[in-house]
Amino acid sequence: MSSNGMIVAPQPEAVEAGALVLKKGGNAVDAAITCALVQGVVDPQMTGIAGFGSLQLYLPKTGEHYCIDFHGRSPSAVKPDMWEDLIEGETADGFGFILKGRINDVGYQAVTVPGSLKAYFEAQTRHGTMDWSDVVAPAIQWAEDGYPIRPHMLGFWTRDEGFGRAPVTDRLAFTQSGRKIYFNEDGSLKALGQILKNPDMAETLRRIARDGADVFYQGEIARRIAEDMAANGGLISLEDLKTYETTRIDPLWGEYRGYRFATNNPPGGGIMLAQMLNILENFDLGEIGHNSPDYIRIVAEAMKRATSDKDKFVGDPAFFDVPVAKLTDKAYAREIAQAIKAGEKASVDRLPQGSAKESSNTTHVAVIDQAGNAVTMTHSLGMPSGAITDGLGFMYNGCMAVFDPRPGRAGSLAPGKSRFSSLCPTIVFKGDNPHIVLGAPGGTQIAMGVLQGILNVLDFGMDMQQAVSAPRFSATSDVIDVCNRIPAYITNEVAAQGYEIRRNPLSFAFAMVHGIRIEDGGMDGGADPAGDGMALAV
């Protein structure tokens, strides 16, 4: 167990960069933002400076504890009914809508106004101890020198998700820049172990290192972004970039079996996590048994109910009155628990859809330093749009795909609005001190993965690596999806109770949970084996 500091993330290069910051005396914020910038280089479809996310900072020495919400905002040119006549269906995991021509999914209309770089810069320059240029330097070096294509990256590029979304290879090849970066001269996709260099991104990062986030939002880079959007039918204007602001907000607090936890507010997924924990507090999960048939049924029902409530009631609170107090009320949770105990089955409404597989186009970083500062951040491109402005090197987010094209709903389109996401970077406290710092990528599965990571530690006494490695399941529809390591003799008993079971071919599935556990003055970290990452103690 480490006692000086620790960092965990899905990319070894990014973890190493953050660990070196801690070794050199930087704090948790310096390390997290260094790691995040490198993640955008070495895992460029998972995240990047043109993405979105949610960041929680716990800084005990200065008495500051808050979240930065930096979800992408829909451009000012958006109209609530502009896609209503194009609906073909909804993705099986609830992570987006399928429109004719996939215009909300691939290309320039898929892009929301990015928030990631502004959040990185605000957090680091406000709370970090290092110069901004030094924080950006490792990312520049990785972009210039290159890095080997890792198994998880190649798997994401080539795996058929089966949701009705466009294949990732189509996104990579959407622009001339993408074809130059991600394909060989003969047109073949770059292969496992090949070195991927991105000199255009290195040059973009040099400008950002020199001029800060302003160059992206109102300087030369902003001008090039706006010109490219206008030339290719995109919706984002220069004014959209200039007026983008992050949101600083207190965490959403809850309590589970005597532990307090802090997570994010809507439009993030923390409200789902809080509701599920409140429901499950009414069951003796330890006595029921980890991944037993009853355990799977009970937890899946909690997942389904939180998903249904999210679909109906959770959106951008600036545009929709989210009943946070109701959804996180212990009495409401007890009512749901009683229904589950009585054997009642919830139903999750979905439009016509395809088969359900997992989307994991997001990433995470968790850091604790020697002074006890903690940072947990989930950041993403959504499903990447494929759009790359020639000469800039980075891919834009594709977050417009998750907005509901039907007017009058919690997630409907509106100018300046943020979409719901399942991102829920969370800190669990034992007394006054952090006990678990965690989060996950994984699309709509994020809250489900983080939930099971927390239960594994608090109800079953697992260390962090055990907690993130244990077999998981998910229920974001009327089907219970299970990873391939949950035995059929277990799931057959669940099926006998009238549930449809869908077996995922992956041994490690349903988000990629990464976290740090603090116990008796020491720390242990867990990197989900579904990815390529690691935890490093310093």
Say which range, 106-110, 182-186, 342-346, 355-359, has the weakest mean pLDDT: 355-359
Backbone torsions φ then ψ of 208, nearest 5 degrees? -70, -35
The alpha-helical segments, DSSP class H, found in 411-527 are: 446-458, 464-469, 488-495
Place of tokens 């997942």: 303
pLDDT tens, 335-374?
Answer: 999 999 999 999 997 654 433 343 456 899 999 999 999 9
Q: Which pLDDT value is given to residue 408?
A: 87
- Residue 69 falls inside a structural domain: no
Q: Which pLDDT value is given to residue 357?
A: 41
CB contact set of 55 (below 8 Å; sequence gap of 6+): 32, 67, 68, 70, 119, 123, 375, 376, 377, 379, 425
Q: DSSP label at 417?
A: P
Q: Which pLDDT value is given to residue 83?
A: 85
- Residue 351 falls inside a structural domain: yes
| For residues 181-196, average pLDDT | 96
Q: Which pLDDT value is given to residue 3?
A: 65
Q: Which pLDDT value is given to residue 358?
A: 39
Number of domains in the chain: 1
Percentage of the residues of the chain whose pLDDT score is greater than 90: 83
What are the angstrom distances between the C-alpha of 222 and each of 59, 89, 108, 225, 256?
Answer: 32, 34, 15, 5, 45
- Residue 496 falls inside a structural domain: yes
Q: Which pLDDT value is given to residue 278?
A: 98
For the chain, helix, strand, coil in percent to 5 are 40, 20, 45
pLDDT(89) > 90:
no
pTM above 0.85?
yes
- Residue 27 falls inside a structural domain: no
- Residue 399 falls inside a structural domain: no
Q: Which pLDDT value is given to residue 356?
A: 38
Q: Which pLDDT value is given to residue 404?
A: 87
- Residue 95 falls inside a structural domain: no
Q: Which pLDDT value is given to residue 329?
A: 98
Residue spans of beta strands (DSSP E) within 76-162: 87-90, 97-99, 147-148
pLDDT tens, 145-174?
Answer: 999 999 989 999 987 655 556 789 999 999
- Residue 44 falls inside a structural domain: no
Q: Which pLDDT value is given to residue 161?
A: 54
Q: Dig out the tokens for 108 from the structure.
A: 């320039």
Q: DSSP label at 253?
A: E
Binned at pLDDT 50, 70 and 90, residue 416 comes out as very high
Among positive and negative, which fits the CA dihedral 242, 243, 244, 250?
positive
Give yes or no for a contact between 90 and 154, defined as CB atoms under 8 angstroms apart: no
Buried b (16+ CB within 10 A) or exposed e, 394-415: bbbbbbbbbbbbbeeebbbbbe
Rounded Cα distance between 485 and 488, Å, is 9
Place of tokens 């959504």: 382
Binned at pLDDT 50, 70 and 90, residue 93 comes out as low
Say which range, 6-20, 51-65, 338-352, 522-536, has the weakest mean pLDDT: 338-352
Q: Which of 357, 352, 350, 11 is nearest to 168 (CA)?
A: 357
Task: Give the structural domain span for 490.
Answer: 249-356+423-527
| For residues 199-219, average pLDDT | 98
SS3 201: helix
Quick one: 323 exposed, middle or buried, by C-beta within 10 A (0-12, 13-18, 19+)?
middle
Say which range, 191-195, 369-373, 403-407, has the weakest mean pLDDT: 403-407
- Residue 495 falls inside a structural domain: yes
Give the CATH number, domain containing residue 498.
1.10.246.130
**Which residues are marked as active site?**
362
For the chain, the average pLDDT equals 93
| For residues 191-199, average pLDDT | 97
Binned at pLDDT 50, 70 and 90, residue 2 comes out as low
Say which range, 347-351, 474-478, 513-517, 528-532, has the weakest mean pLDDT: 347-351
